[in-house]
Structure 1
């Protein structure tokens, strides 16, 4: 058999085309000069859409900006970043690990390696958040009960004292009683819903519409609501009252976040997922609700603790709404996820359709 001789360049291209890691080469102007097949698959773009494109223009949003690349070129040092949030032109968002290496071929180029880590991170994050959420809820419940016991005694003592005081002094005992009641109400909110979910076969879109109407009544005419529902979602068993409370907490948060936004919009979407895993269980069908707003986004410093009790990005906020919403969705075997960047915040509620579970 005759030997086939190929050049080193052809060999490198042949190898790169068989890599599962997306590889891309940018010139000093950040124009795409080379990419392998895996790059098209990760970004969901064809060869014509990628070839000779200015790299930042491939995204609506990307945590890594042009400045990062130009700094790497000027300092002649590569870098690597994990969990880079990127949003493509079609609205699809990716979580990427990106490695950038400086190479000369013979002029300076940047070699990018992109690894999509969405699914792995989501599964790990879901499991971590579930354990953290349950631990935080147990801690809060323990503290709340410890507060309620002496609070009840304090209130009762004030009532007894009031009976023996002249009328001109009862305003002080009334103040004690009023403040004790206020603290008790706060503790009750910390404890959250105490009754188990009472599931009945219901229509998901009727519940979403009820939430939309309540939100409009709260702030008439201030926010535009867009609806995009999937009619293929079947009726299934859930607690309409608890689910309505969870969704309303999220929608009201979105309304408050849009106070300073021009042309504020909240989009309500529903979709159905097939063969989706939640909390380690695989379901044939999972209902999905998205609440999307065009506000300023969630501050980076609270993203990881967003669903913890008493965590809030609003001045004077109690930080209970999202924590309670997560608890209510957990009661249904589901989970709430959040993606956010400036101009876009998206909460996604996952609800297993229990009667189709594997």
Structure 2
């Protein structure tokens, strides 16, 4: 049986609402789990530090907060836009409450992300669109592959009876183009095999991507790591996660190269998200992987169809990389979000963190 204090702490830490308390100097003295997730850091990096350290200059109205402390007034603001120093934006409803404690006056911030419900709605719409697109492609693939097989077979038979070598070059062209179209259709269908799940360190897959891009990429791009070492092992298919991240990183490098971005940089960031709903299922813990670049951003014209096959803003781009990445993450019960504006594009991969004992009980 939990003590009342322990039960209350558990209850507060399982709230979706971020609770953050500051003292009269606006230094943080408390944050629940949702509050830590809001700042994307732990209590050691929060407690004792000023609010000003985490937000862009001018984002925090210190004079209003100090006036609220001085006068003991509470206030509420709706749909505010919080601008964090790492160029991250969060839209939320905010309530500020004055508290009198043994240690002096305090301000309690209650923040509820209003983009959470929008994300769930967007995720449902995205999944429905992705499913419809894949079903359409499956039907088209069936209609294309059958005649392609016949065309290729007829060309092979024709090649055997042709004596003129020049004419045989044409039959070879038919065979080669038939094979090219068949390979394109197979790529459109994407990976169909189920993931081979194993308990793995997520950062191993990221390091393999970093190593590969150092060798494979012709564009000099700085790859910055910002990992959370506390993330436990995740039940994933390492190869699939590596492929999904690789597809996104390659897209970013190509965008940086084509835009001739000065000092091109890609950041790989890992954090833990708590109490998150993905594909209609609630997860206490989720691994959050961000791939952030300082490129030109995604054109608004393709933002809503970005994960569709054959949609691309790149020169000579096939438009398959992101579609395949989404399929691979969906195989893991996860999801991909994207936020982009000029100078900042951020793909966020969410992967549920299951407990080993709970999986063993199933």
TM over 0.5: yes
Alignment of 1:84-163 (within 5 A): 87-89=83-85, 91-95=87-91, 117-163=114-160
336-345 vs 277-286, which moves further: 277-286
Structure 2: distance between partners of 1:56 and 1:271: 24
Unaligned runs of 5+ in 1: 1-40, 50-54, 60-82, 98-114
Cα separation, partners in 2 of 1:84 and 1:298, compared to 1, 3 Å: farther
Q: Show the counterpart of 2:76.
A: none
Give 2:169's aligned residue: 171
8 A contact 2:219–2:253 mirrored in 1: no
Alignment deviations for residues 87-127 of structure 1 (CA, whole Å, 9 cap, x no partner)? 44453312479xxxxxxxxxxxxxxxxx9631111111111
Root-mean-square deviation over aligned CA pairs = 3.1
CA drift of 1:56 comes to: 10
Greater relative contact order, per chain length (Cα 8 Å cut-off, separation 6+): 2
Q: Does 1:310 align with 2:294?
A: no
Classify 1:56/1:310 alpha carbon distance in 2 versus 1 (closer, same or farther; 3 Å).
farther
Matched, 1:329 2:348: no
CA contact (8 A) 1:58 1:89 kept: no
Report the 3-state secondary structure (helix = DSSP H, G, I; strand = E; otherwise coil) of the residue aligned with 1:258: helix
1:181 to 175, 179, 184: 179
Task: Give the SS at the match of 1:243.
Answer: helix
Kindly state the Cα deviation for residue 344 of structure 1 after the two structures are TM-superposed. 0.3
Distance in 1, Cα, partners of 2:351 & 2:119: 16
Aligned residues: 274
Structure 2 CA distance for partners of 1:165 and 1:339, relative to 1, 3 Å:
same
Q: For 1:45-80, what per-residue CA distance to the aligned partner results, in whole angstroms no more than 9, with x for missing partners? A: xxx97xxxxx99549xxxxxxxxxxxxxxxxxxxxx
Q: Is 1:244 paired with 2:246?
A: no
Alpha carbons 2:59, 2:82 under 8 Å: kept:
no
C-alpha displacement at 1:216, in angstroms?
Answer: 1.4
**What are the Cα deviations for residues 308-330 of structure 1, in whole angstroms up to 9, with x where unaligned?**
11110112211100000000000
Of structures 1 and 2, the larger Rg is shown by 1
In the aligned structure 2, how far is the partner of 1:302 from the partner of 1:221? Answer: 25
Cα shift at 1:86 = 7.1
Q: Measure, in 2, the Cα distance between the counterparts of 1:131 and 1:244.
A: 25
Alignment of structure 1 residues 14-93 onto 2, 5 Å: 58=59, 87-89=83-85, 91-93=87-89
Deviations 1:186-210 (A, max 9, x none): 1110011121111111111011100
1:158 shift after superposition: 0.2
1:35 corresponds in structure 2 to: none
The CA distance in 1 between the partners of 2:86 and 2:173, in whole Å, is 57
1:339 corresponds in structure 2 to 339
Shift of 1:353: 1.6
* Distance across 2 between alignment mates of 1:87 and 1:220: 34
1:287 aligns with 2:312: no
Is the Cα contact below 8 Å between 1:276 and 1:283 reproduced in 2?
yes
Distance 1:161 1:324 in 2: 37
